Structure 1
Amino acid sequence: MESESTVTTCYRHPKVESHVRCTRCDRYICPDCMREAAVGHQCVECVKEGARSVRQARTAFGGRIATAPVVTYVLIGLNVLAYLGELVRSSIVDRFEMLGRGLVGPDGGHYMWMADHPSDYHAEGVVAGEWYRLLTGAFLHLPVSEGTFGILHIVMNMLTLWNIGRVVESQLGRVRYLTLYLLSALGGSVLVLLIAPDTPTLGASGAIFGLGAAYYVMARRLGADMGQVNRFMAGLLLWLLISAGLTSWQGHLGGLLAGGVVTLAYAYAPRERHRSLIQASACVALLALLVILTVAKATELAA
């Protein structure tokens, strides 16, 4: 008497005959469900489960390792697009540059603030509720009509962002890096608001100074050769002094301080399961401080 051999089928496709088992769950799988593994084949579900269980590689500061500095590319692209917008419509500068307080006249012109201004003049700037200027000003640069220095403003800033931004992003990961950049830009604008609220400012320099501070703190934390790093910081601080008579030193200093605070939190948070929470809490605390300072100063200016 002859015995019939049992026909085995794929667990996902019951009508397809299969003779290969998944090396992980031992279920039969057809060619469409097979995935190459280190030994044999695995089914689709086991491959997905394995991917979830694999721990993602992290940088020394807790960020996910990225193969390309995508955020740096995007930031440069946004700055260049904003500059092209300025070339098409110069009024973008007056509308979005950082300004604590100012006046718009009946002729559409922009004037210095006066507490007792005529009724046909109206306030503009942060004092008028235009809080977006705290960030939008960091994506604008001197218009080309300012001559050679106007062009050099964006060229030098973007070259610096390209050189140092890629290094910082690779160490921090995209989320931490973007947070650092935006908080540095905001820190620069808030210091401008506190010290020179009547002075219009613009440029990515505050954020870039924050990246410079991050570069220094990270190098110290990693025990890198500080020779080149110290030379870079010396040049950055020298430019901070020189720029006092040319550009907004308040924005530079504010970005430097904010970037330093954020990176200290990144670099020295305990390497335990709550590291990300501690880093995020430090960033939220800095943001809260900047908001409180902005509200207090705007209230004072409006009085």
Structure 2
Amino acid sequence: MEQAHLPGCYRHPGKETGIRCTRCERPICSDCMVNASVGFQCPECVRDGSGTGHSRTANQPRTIAGGRVTAGHPHLVTNVLIGLNLLVFLIGRLNPAVIDELVLIGFAFDPDLGRVVGVADGEWYRLVSSMFLHEEIWHVAGNMLLLWLLGGALEAELGRARYVTLYLLSGLAGSALTYLIAPENQGSLGASGAVYGLLGATVVLVRRLKRDMRPIMALVVLNLVITFARDGIAWEAHIGGLAAGLIIAYAMVNGPRERRALLQGAACALVLGLTLVTVVLRTAALT
């Protein structure tokens, strides 16, 4: 097996390094790196950021995806998402009627509610509300464990805004694929689509950072085996979320820095557009 080589410092090409400037992402060796509030910066970024003609935001440390590095509470969004899922789970346990009102279902007559329900009947909110809904303790526990394991690192590496965008679009893509493929009267619920999006994003991030891929790939394989080996799991949400997470994360952490925002916006728009087209076509077919 051929040994992989690290990139050379941009100022000293003969010196291999695994360190990159937190602002421009160029590889820098130990002779060039300058301590920053988060990580290290290259001499040029330090010099550019210290001039009087630059605004305060010009020297703001950035994540690998271009997001701002925020001080304090690095896992704030992850903790909020976990808390929101647990709160909705508790509400559903205390009032089971909430589940009937929020669960993802295509088109069906609900005897408990006494009326026709479903996304095809105009209840598009179910595509989102079902992402925060769980019925069994093992279900919410498993999803929140994965969210806690994966979310913190992704939030720190991507930045809060990009991280929450990744989470919501992955969950929405999982809901849309479920709506498209699953029987119209089959209910589906859970944060699995969003969490599998984080799983796919972690694969992309680990590869981008040139870290050991084996642990995350083992986790992906294990979860896919569980997805298809166990009855009663909406595999469509898992696959839809995983695919969306891979696409969005790839655009977020790859590509030239000067076009990074454009690529990120295009990838998010692509996933959202495909999701909306899927929902519209499925609704037309059911009605």
- TM-score, shorter chain, exceeding 0.5: yes
Q: Is the 8 A contact 2:251 2:260 kept in 1?
A: no
- Structure 1 counterpart of 2:260, one-letter code: R
**Cα distance in 2 between the residues matched to 1:239 and 1:162:** 19
Which range is displaced more, 285-294 or 59-68? 59-68
Partner of 1:257: 243
CA deviation after TM superposition for structure 1 residue 64, in Å? 1.6
Deviation at residue 104 of structure 1 after TM alignment = 3.4
The Cα offsets for residues 146-188 of structure 1, whole Å up to 9 and x where unpaired, read as xxxx211111111111111111111111011100000110011
Residue deviations 1:92-150, cap 9 Å, x none? 00000111111135x735xxxxxxxxxxxx421101110010010010001xxxxxxx2
Out of 121, 127, 132, the residue aligned to residue 128 of structure 1 is 121
Q: Secondary structure at the match of 1:216?
A: helix
Q: Alignment RMSD, CA only?
A: 1.8
Residue identity over aligned pairs, in percent, reads 41
Structure 1's unaligned 5+ residue stretches are 1-47, 110-121, 143-149
Residue 61 (structure 2) pairs with residue 74 (structure 1):
no
Hey, what does 1:286 align to over in structure 2? 271
Secondary structure at the residue paired with 1:75? Answer: helix
Q: In structure 2, what is the equivalent of residue 108 of structure 1?
A: 113
Larger Rg belongs to: 1
**1:266, CA displacement in angstroms?**
1.1
Is the contact between residue 212 and residue 236 of structure 1 (CA under 8 Å) also seen in structure 2? no
Which residue number in structure 2 is paired with residue 23 of structure 1?
A: none
Structure 2: 5+ residue stretches without partners: 1-51
What CA distance in whole angstroms lies between the structure 2 residues aligned with 1:123 and 1:231? 43
1:259-278 matched pairs, under 5 angstroms = 259-272=245-258, 274-278=259-263
Of 56, 59, 74 in structure 1, the residue corresponding to residue 60 of structure 2 is: 56
Q: Which runs of structure 2 are paired with 1:1-303 in the superposition (5 Å)?
A: 52=56, 54-67=58-71, 68-105=74-111, 108-109=113-114, 122-142=115-135, 150-196=136-182, 197-243=184-230, 245-272=231-258, 274-302=259-287
Letter of the 2:137 partner, please give it.
I
- Preserved contact between residue 184 and residue 254 of structure 1 (Cα < 8 Å): yes
Q: TM-score scaled to structure 2, two decimals?
A: 0.77
Aligned residues: 233
User: How much has 1:53 moved relative to structure 2?
Assistant: 5.3
Inter-partner Cα distance in structure 2 for 1:108 and 1:158: 29
Displacement over 3 Å in runs of 4+: 48-51
Q: Partner residue of 2:14?
A: none
Distance 2:160 2:221 in 1: 27
**C-alpha distance in 2 between matches for 1:160 and 1:85:** 22
Q: SS state of the match for residue 108, structure 1?
A: coil
Q: Distance in 2 between matches of 1:123 and 1:295?
A: 19
Residues 284/165 of structure 1: CA separation in 2 closer, same or farther (3 Å cut): same
Q: 2:31 aligns to what?
A: none
Cα distance, 1:265 vs. partner? 1.3
TM-score (norm 1): 0.73
**1:259-301 Cα deviation digits (max 9, x unpaired):** 11111111223211x3113201220121011101101110110
CA displacement at 1:51 relative to structure 2: 6.0
CA distance in structure 1 between the partners assigned to 2:276 and 2:132 by the alignment: 20
Contact 2:254 2:260 in 1 (8 A): no
Letter of the aligned partner of 2:255 in structure 1?
A: A
Q: Secondary structure at the match of 1:103?
A: strand
Q: Summarize the Cα distance change of 1:108–1:275 in structure 2 as closer, same or farther, 3 Å threshold.
A: closer
**Secondary structure at 1:234's aligned position in 2?**
helix
- How many Å apart are 1:248 and its aligned residue? 0.7
Distance in 1, Cα, partners of 2:158 & 2:146: 18
